[in-house]
Chain A
Amino acid sequence: MSKPYTLQELLVIAVAKEIHDHENVILGVGLPTTAGALAKALYAPHATLMMESGIIDFEPLLPLNHIADAHSCRGFSYATDLFSAFTMTYRGFVDVCFLGVGQVDQYGNLNTTCIGDYYKPTMRLPGSGGACDFLSYAKRTVLTMLGGEFVEKLDYFTSPGYLDGGNRREESGLFPQGTGPTMLLSTKGIFRFDPVTKEMYLAQIHPRVKVEDVKKDVPWDLKIAPDLSETPHPTDEEIDFIRHFAPAMSAGRELAMELTIANLMKQVKG
């Protein structure tokens, strides 16, 4: 039996496995950058890691603070600009990208802009950033949902998944064939999209989670894969990599924040 792991470590590993060797990968900040580093170290050594700020082909030495963090890698192979990072995505050179989720509906459409009314928001979220254009044109998109929610209807439609489901994305003429979200990772399981209806279903469940626990977060009648599998126990090698590379990721956002603030207050008091 391998050593004990944290939930966040399990999540990072699940995401890292979506990166295949030799792929071009756009990484978002947070969990995906740690996943990218893990993939590059253990599963996909020839992957080209990229960020929309124009940092292309980098080897992260530290968890990135944001998507323009050149301090966390020792140089990189290609310095281009944001404009070109998106036009290369538009032209089909990006195999997989990773996006965070505020709200998601059953067809993988995303809201990262606001909760409540757009003009007078209950909660103003960050906005699109690169999300809308990446979800439109990357060949595959992996959605990571740590604090977000499943909803029947988005409060604001920021980024296009499969629109109203079925063939609607392809019929719209706005997107290359075969693109769209391929997987959603939550703290409870892994969801994929039915090839015909494009409806999100539960494909894999994390250890100690029951199907009912997953269903209670989802406002539609969630379908469960007949061959539902359990997310495998991480290996020692995987755990050691993450804990060494990004200890705050192992701890999870809340605990890491609590420990950081405690340390900050200690410094303020001198």
Chain B
Amino acid sequence: MAAEMSKVMNVRDAIAKFVHDGDELVIGNYTVGSCAELVYEVVRQGRKGLTLYSQSGIFDVEVLIGAGCADKLVSTYVLRAGGKKGGSAVERAMNAGTIQVEDYTNFQYNARMVAGMHGFSYIQVLEGAIATDIFRKRSFMGENKFRIIKCPYTGKENLTVPAANPDVCIVHVQRADKFGNAQYWGALGSVAAAALASKRIVVSCEEIVEHDVIQSSPHLTIIPAYRVDAVCEVPWGANPTEVLGYYNIDQFMYGLFMMMDGTADGLKAWMDEWVFGCENRAAYIDHYVQKFGSKTLDGIRCKPYYSAPANYGSAFTSRWDKDGRERAIGMTLAEFEKTLKERGKLYE
């Protein structure tokens, strides 16, 4: 692939170019390794009117909703800070009437992405949910949250959900090459489906690696280059969540967030310092280290436990053996061409 095929961009440009007001935006990560820096940049650029999809809303959803970026949320799980006495940006926005929430189960939400990823218009989900309020109570999707159809083969009633094809997916992974091949390992969750269902994909990664690293470990690639629009190298890009093989969850920073998230003022103060107050991830890490020292971050760096290499090697890589003979036919190239000529296969 040629150098001009590189999709490497900085986060600011990637979000400016690929995330627009009014988009359906999906956070590709699930519970772990959230694309924190991409989320913060969406907030810094003041996107409005997003329909936000998140398999499991953690601090990322809280920040986007606390900043007023989204007016619709599709999710299965949301964060609550401080237990019964605490609160959350989602709860505050629901009560203020500034967000509409559509609740699904983990499987249903993921199934919508799987359908979208494969180009289907709907998909069957597990019928037990028909007995519950997840089926009965609907928000902005109304009739189209679920439909029941009759299976043409068994005659049984099937619960279905519509495919989701968000406008853009933002997602953090361990590593990628400059073309966009994105490698992710650990809890696979629903990361690949969320990305592949989407029309545009912005990837941030801990490091950009040589293409040969990708080529020798394709089982780790969850998003192929041809689907990716932008690749951003962002070390510590998921802090305070964790990235397997790079760093653990940052209980200290997560704790700071959770202490502030329970009230609107608290969350605003936290965002003023850690989102708006830091122009990019490098500035965020600088601020972190300046304020608290480097002990916390040093203490959560992962020690190596490498995957056993899978041998992608082969007996040979050319049809011609070391003596220059074709392996099946047994001829040299000269003998072969002579034969082609004798048999009348060559044209001037």
- Identify which of B10-18, B80-88, B329-337, B339-347 touches chain A: B80-88
Decide: A90 near B103, CB < 8 A? Known: A119-B94, A119-B139.
no
Say whether B188 contacts A124, CB under 8 Å.
no
| Bound Cα distance A157, B134 (Å) | 7
Question: How far apart are B49's CB and chain A's nearest CB, in angstroms?
Answer: 20
A-B residue pair count with CB separations less than 8 angstroms: 173
Residue from A80, A147, A156, A260 with most neighbouring chain B CB atoms (10 Å): A156
Decide: A137 near B128, CB < 8 A? Known: A68-B31, A82-B190.
yes
Question: How far apart are A180's CB and chain B's nearest CB, in angstroms?
Answer: 10
Flag B137-174 by CB within 8 Å of A: 1 or 0 each.
10100000000000000000000000000000000000
A136 at the interface (CB under 8 A from B): yes
Say whether A158 contacts B32, CB under 8 Å.
no
Chain A residue contacts of B95, Cβ below 8 A = 120-121
- Identify which of B20-28, B71-79, B228-236, B268-276 touches chain A: B71-79
Say whether A157 contacts B132, CB under 8 Å.
yes
Flag B24-50 by CB within 8 Å of A: 1 or 0 each.
000000111000000000000000000
Decide: A123 near B103, CB < 8 A? Known: A156-B133, A261-B259.
no
| Bound Cα distance A147, B262 (Å) | 18
CB-nearest residue of chain A to B104: A128
Say whether A264 contacts B133, CB under 8 Å.
no
B91 partner, pick from A75, A80, A121, A156, beta carbons under 8 A:
A121
| Bound Cα distance A68, B110 (Å) | 15
| Bound Cα distance A163, B129 (Å) | 12
Decide: A81 near B193, CB < 8 A? Known: A51-B187, A66-B31.
yes
| Bound Cα distance A260, B242 (Å) | 19
Flag A40-65 by CB within 8 Å of B: 1 or 0 each.
00000000000111110000000001
| Bound Cα distance A158, B128 (Å) | 11
Chain A residue contacts of B131, Cβ below 8 A = 157, 160, 163, 172, 174
| Bound Cα distance A260, B136 (Å) | 41
Chain B residue contacts of A54, Cβ below 8 A = 187-189
Chain A residue contacts of B106, Cβ below 8 A = 52, 82, 86, 128-130, 133
Question: How far apart are A183's CB and chain B's nearest CB, in angstroms?
Answer: 19
Of residues 102 to 120 in B, which have CB atoms within 8 Å of A's CB atoms? 103-108, 110-111, 114
Say whether B94 contacts A267, CB under 8 Å.
no
A127 partner, pick from B75, B114, B244, beta carbons under 8 A:
B75
With A54-B188, A69-B249 given, name 13 new contacts (CB 8 A). Answer: A53-B31, A68-B30, A70-B186, A82-B107, A119-B94, A120-B95, A120-B97, A121-B95, A124-B78, A133-B126, A147-B83, A160-B131, A270-B292
